[in-house]
């Protein structure tokens, strides 16, 4: 039942509505939808539309019209960003609130002589009529006919000020600005070369090189004593409005914190200091908020079973609802991790001090004892408030090396008593995982290695060892136990939910799979195992990496909420975040709720009710903000690394094919770059939707998804994070003449897009 007490609309009805809305360029109203799908059930249609809107598949525009999420209105305001490599005028929508890149908009050339269009220059805005360009590659694009120009409202941009051969130059940080801007001497405003600045584009009447006026120099202080002085993190902090300065009151409160006592008002902590709990983290980790322990269960009624303890820093003891630390932690929502520094959720006195489980130091904790059988299935659990002492600060690499027979002076004494029991419990968790069959995605993650000067020494894929998976399984079990306890004690729970994949995503996913020779059956209740079956079949083939990426994109986004719908990806009925309160505010809320429900003393939720929906929505936003900022900085550091390797050859794999080129992932580095269509061997290339490939008409060359290729680094822009590649051996040095009266050869893409797949 829905919140209003009505039954949810049937999936078939929703699919019909999505298909009908998707077939219209403009928004459609309830009455149009009823006629389109052939029903008179207005109440049912309104209910289905409401559910689709809540699920994020459709959105309402003006006048109660509905469109697919991300679909631009037929008439919208656009902003000219310049010209592309073919000399065509391009633009983007003025308003774009989604996380992904905005679609590219091509200004129709058929009215180029018209005064209203000829006057458009970089930064100019216009009301335009948009026509979608059919492209099943997943790249959204539009043709635009200008209705009227709206004005020259100055566009504020972020960039790095440089000295150029002809004077000052502004290098934009946003990839949509393909070219630098001239900064006249009178517009420098005190900026020095290398400064991160805010500037206004001075809109001109020509589509040539535009100028800019610097309005502000951003002297962003670094949040910590990170190495070097690269601007990449500063760019992200400003671009994404990441809070990085603590209030004086919050810092004072953190620095005034003291050791937590064994006994407190209304209770006493369990003394866990003799239990050999250990932390296991990356070599460069700075905060240690979780510790683990395992031993065989002594209960003879549970042969082969295990007793596991997961102990988490007691942040709730130091951060109370409504105080200065709580307010700043809520604003940030989470810590943000960059290659050169961390922007912590809590001041250093707590995040690296009293709330960090340092070895051989007493620390307050909230711990959960868990008992499971030999197959890893939970039998019971118990939460306690304790005082612990970490017996060792271990790393993933050292723990794995010890299990592989290469123990060192730190791990050798712990191998039999601590490390091997942890792996014994982990193996039991693995058996439970096999029964549960969660989504099994193991995508490469980039790791940036910096030298002592803060410059990029190496970019590589992060290793995924059994020691990493061990900690993941221990944390998942603790999170499930926390959610279960909060439900049992009738406390508000901030669930970590992951809904089923949206219908539209599945439609695109099935279409993609069919094109590469795989099939996801319809008419069944989808479970994670169905996706795993596809991944298993594709494991040793060329398309595995691409299918893994598309599988991820087909999923719903995980969020925080007070309403439980389960976690699809983990195949769990209830799940919340309990294990990282130093760096996630959601976990702090869960800790407070557990303290309230179990009567564990001070630091509870308090008497004032909390709005888990509002909190969940805010934290979901801050989490996405952090993820985008982190990704942007990693891309910029990767581009900085490859900027020193212009002209060098690398092996890679095609992970995306579009009408305008290929996306290639470089082996070992996991950096993604674009191979523009113009750099492919001279030919006329058709985009094959079914096989997701570009085919040369004359040469018969085929570039398909998953294909292994060798590429040459052509351009690497660290400021914007963009990377341009070229297929090794292609004659990209040939000039590309302007296209005139190009013959159409394919109804699906239209003349404009066909010209873009022509390389002469």
Tens of pLDDT, residues 529-548:
999 999 999 998 888 888 99
Cα dihedral 242, 245, 248, 249, rounded to 10, equals 20
d(CA 123, CA 200): 9
pLDDT in tens, 362-372: 999 999 999 99
Q: With the C-alpha atoms ordered 567, 572, 578, 581, is the resulting torsion angle positive or negative? A: negative
Quick count: other Cβ atoms within 10 Å of Cβ 195? Answer: 20
Q: Is 424 exposed, middle or buried (0-12, 13-18, 19+ CB in 10 A)?
A: middle
Q: Considering the entire predicted model, what is its pTM?
A: 0.76
Q: Are 17 and 54 in contact (CB under 8 A)?
A: no
Q: What average pLDDT does range 281-307 have in this prediction?
A: 94
Mean per-residue pLDDT for 325-333?
97
Kindly report the backbone phi and psi dihedral angles of residue 113, in degrees, each rounded to the nearest multiple of 5, phi listed first.
-80, -10
Q: Is the dihedral of CA 590, 596, 598, 601 positive or negative?
A: positive
Could you tell me the two tokens for 71? 């679909």
pLDDT value at residue 221: 53
**Choices 3.30.43.10, 3.40.50.620, 2.120.10.30, 2.40.50.140: CATH for 644-759:** 2.40.50.140
Q: How far is CA 456 from the centre of its chain?
A: 22
Q: Where are the beta strands (DSSP E) in 530-581?
A: 559-561
Work out the angle at residue 498's Cα, subtended by the Cα atoms of residues 671 and 625, and round it to the nearest 5 degrees.
Answer: 50
Task: For residue 47, give the 3-state DSSP assignment.
Answer: helix
Domain ranges of the chain: 11-68, 75-151, 155-219, 238-498+562-633, 503-555, 644-759
Residue 201 confidence (pLDDT): 81
| Structure-block tokens of residue 187 | 């517009």
When pLDDT is averaged across residues 642-671 and rounded to a whole number, the result is 90
Query: What's the CA gap between 362 and 380, in Å, rounded?
Result: 28
Is the torsion defined by CA of 523, 525, 531, 533 positive or negative?
negative
Assigned CATH topology for domain 155-219 = OB fold (Dihydrolipoamide Acetyltransferase, E2P) (2.40.50)
Give the CATH class of 11-68. mainly alpha
* 253 phi/psi in degrees, rounded to 5: -65, -40
Of 99, 6, 21, 98, the C-alpha closest to 51 is 6
From CA 425, how far away is CA 294, in angstroms rounded? 7
Contact 119/125 with Cβ under 8 angstroms?
no
Looking at residues 42-62, what average pLDDT do you find? 81
Q: pLDDT above 90 covers what percent of the chain?
A: 51
SS3 category, 495: strand
Q: Flag whether pLDDT at 131 surpasses 90.
A: no
Q: What is the DSSP string of 90-106?
A: EEEES---SSSPPPEEE
Residue 733's pLDDT is what? Answer: 35
DSSP line for 230-250: -SHHHHHHHHTT------HHH
With a cut of 90, say whether residue 41 has pLDDT above it.
Answer: no
What is the spatial distance between Cα 156 and Cα 164, in angstroms, rounded to a whole number? 21
C-alpha to C-alpha distance for 582 and 717, rounded to whole angstroms: 35
User: What one-character DSSP code corresponds to residue 418?
Assistant: I
SS3 158: strand
Mean pLDDT of 338-367: 96
In our burial notation (b when 16+ CB lie closer than 10 A, e otherwise), range 121-148 reads bbbbbbebbbbebebebebbbbbbbbee
Count of Cβ atoms closer than 10 Å to residue 40 Cβ: 8
Strand-pair category, 196-202 with 446-450: unpaired
Determine whether 726 is exposed, middle or buried from the number of CB atoms within 10 Å of its CB (0-12, 13-18, 19+): buried
Query: In which band, very low, low, confident or very high, does the pLDDT at 9 lie, cut at 50, 70 and 90?
Result: low
Instruction: Report residue 266 as tokens.
Output: 């209304």
pLDDT at 374: 98
* DSSP-derived pairing of the beta strands 362-372 and 306-313: antiparallel
Angle between helices 466-488 and 420-436 (to 10 degrees): 70
pLDDT average, residue stretch 27-54: 85
Q: How far apart are CA 174 and CA 177, in angstroms?
A: 6
Three-class DSSP category at 692:
coil
Query: 63 pLDDT band (50/70/90 cuts)?
Result: low
Give the pLDDT confidence score for residue 460 in this predicted structure. 86
Strands 141-151 and 167-172: unpaired
Helix/strand number for the chain, H first, E second: 18, 36
CA dist 719 and 729 (Å) reads: 28
Among residues 37, 10, 8, 9, the alpha carbon closest in space to that of 21 is found at 37
- Residue 459 and residue 126: Cα distance in Å, rounded? 42
Radius of gyration over alpha carbons of the chain, in Å? 28
pLDDT digits (tens, 9 = 90+) for 551-561: 998 999 999 99
For domain 75-151, give the fold: OB fold (Dihydrolipoamide Acetyltransferase, E2P) (2.40.50)
pLDDT band at 514 (very low <50, low <70, confident <90, very high): confident
Please tell me if the domain spanning 75-151 has the same topology as the one spanning 644-759.
yes
Per the model's pLDDT, the better-predicted residue between 192 and 2 turns out to be 192
């Amino acid at each position: 039942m829905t919140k209003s007490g009505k039954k949810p609309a049937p999936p078939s009805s929703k699919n019909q509505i999505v298909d009908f809305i998707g077939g219209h360029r403009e928004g459609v109203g309830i009455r149009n939808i009823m006629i389109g799908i052939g029903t008179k059930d207005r109440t049912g249609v309104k209910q289905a539309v409401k559910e689709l809107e809540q699920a994020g598949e459709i959105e309402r525009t003006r006048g109660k019209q509905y469109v697919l999420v991300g679909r631009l209105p037929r008439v919208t305001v656009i902003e000219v960003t310049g010209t592309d490599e073919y000399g065509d005028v391009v633009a983007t929508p003025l308003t774009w609130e989604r996380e992904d890149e905005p679609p590219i908009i091509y200004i129709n050339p058929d009215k180029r002589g018209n005064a209203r269009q000829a006057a458009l220059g970089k930064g100019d805005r216009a009301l335009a009529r948009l026509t979608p360009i059919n492209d099943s590659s997943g790249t959204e694009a539009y043709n635009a006919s200008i209705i009227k120009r709206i004005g020259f409202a100055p566009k504020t941009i972020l960039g790095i000020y440089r000295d150029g051969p002809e004077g000052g130059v502004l290098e934009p940080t946003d990839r949509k600005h393909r070219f630098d801007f001239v900064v006249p001497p009178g517009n420098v405003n005190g900026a020095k070369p290398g400064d991160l600045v805010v500037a206004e584009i001075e809109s001109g009447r020509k589509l040539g090189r535009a100028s800019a006026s610097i309005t502000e120099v951003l002297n962003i202080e670094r949040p910590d004593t990170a190495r070097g002085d690269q601007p990449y993190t500063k760019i992200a902090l400003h671009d994404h409005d990441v809070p990085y300065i603590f209030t004086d009151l919050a810092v004072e409160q953190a620095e005034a914190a003291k050791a937590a006592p064994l006994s407190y008002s209304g209770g006493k902590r369990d003394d866990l200091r003799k239990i050999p709990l250990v932390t296991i983290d990356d070599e460069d980790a700075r905060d240690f908020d979780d510790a683990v322990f395992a031993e065989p269960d002594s209960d003879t009624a549970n042969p082969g079973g295990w007793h596991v303890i997961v102990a988490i820093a007691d942040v709730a003891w130091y951060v109370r609802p409504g105080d200065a630390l709580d307010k700043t932690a809520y604003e940030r929502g989470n810590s943000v991790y960059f290659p050169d520094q961390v922007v912590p959720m809590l001041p250093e006195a707590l995040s690296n001090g009293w709330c960090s489980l340092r070895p051989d130091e007493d620390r307050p904790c909230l711990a959960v004892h868990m008992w499971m059988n030999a197959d890893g299935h939970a039998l019971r659990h118990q939460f306690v408030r304790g005082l612990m002492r970490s017996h060792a600060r271990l790393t993933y690499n050292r723990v794995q090396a010890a299990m592989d027979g290469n123990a060192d002076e730190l791990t050798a004494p712990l191998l039999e008593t601590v490390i091997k029991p942890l792996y014994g419990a982990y193996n039991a968790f693995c058996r439970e995982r096999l029964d549960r069959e969660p989504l099994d995605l193991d995508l490469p993650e980039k790791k940036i290695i910096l030298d002592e000067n803060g410059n990029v020494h190496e970019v590589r894929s992060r290793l995924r060892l059994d020691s990493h998976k061990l900690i993941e399984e221990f944390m998942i079990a603790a999170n499930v136990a926390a959610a279960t306890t909060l439900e049992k004690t009738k406390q508000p729970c901030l669930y970590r939910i992951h809904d089923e994949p949206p219908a539209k995503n599945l439609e695109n996913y099935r279409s993609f799979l069919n094109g590469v020779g795989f099939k996801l059956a319809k008419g069944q209740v989808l479970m994670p195992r169905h996706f795993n079956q596809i991944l298993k079949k594709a494991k040793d083939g060329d398309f595995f990496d691409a299918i893994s990426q598309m599988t991820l994109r087909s999923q719903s986004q995980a969020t925080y909420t007070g309403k439980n719908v389960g976690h699809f990806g983990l195949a769990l009925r209830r799940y919340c975040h309990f294990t990282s309160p130093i760096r996630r505010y959601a976990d702090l809320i869960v800790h407070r709720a557990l303290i309230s429900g179990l009567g564990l003393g001070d630091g509870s939720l308090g008497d004032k009710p909390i709005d888990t929906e509002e909190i969940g929505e805010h934290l979901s936003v801050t989490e996405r903000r952090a993820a985008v900022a982190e990704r942007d900085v990693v891309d910029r550091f990767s581009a900085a690394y490859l900027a020193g390797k212009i002209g060098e050859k690398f092996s890679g794999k095609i992970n995306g094919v579009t009408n305008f080129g290929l996306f290639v992932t470089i082996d070992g580095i996991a950096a993604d770059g674009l191979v523009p269509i113009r750099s492919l061997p001279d030919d006329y290339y058709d985009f094959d939707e079914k096989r997701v490939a570009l085919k040369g008409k004359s040469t018969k060359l085929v570039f398909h998804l998953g294909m292994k290729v060798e590429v040459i680094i052509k351009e690497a822009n660290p400021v914007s994070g963009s990377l341009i590649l070229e297929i090794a051996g292609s004659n990209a040095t040939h000039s590309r003449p302007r296209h005139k009266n190009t013959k159409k050869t394919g109804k699906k893409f239209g003349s404009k897009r066909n010209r873009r797949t022509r390389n002469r």
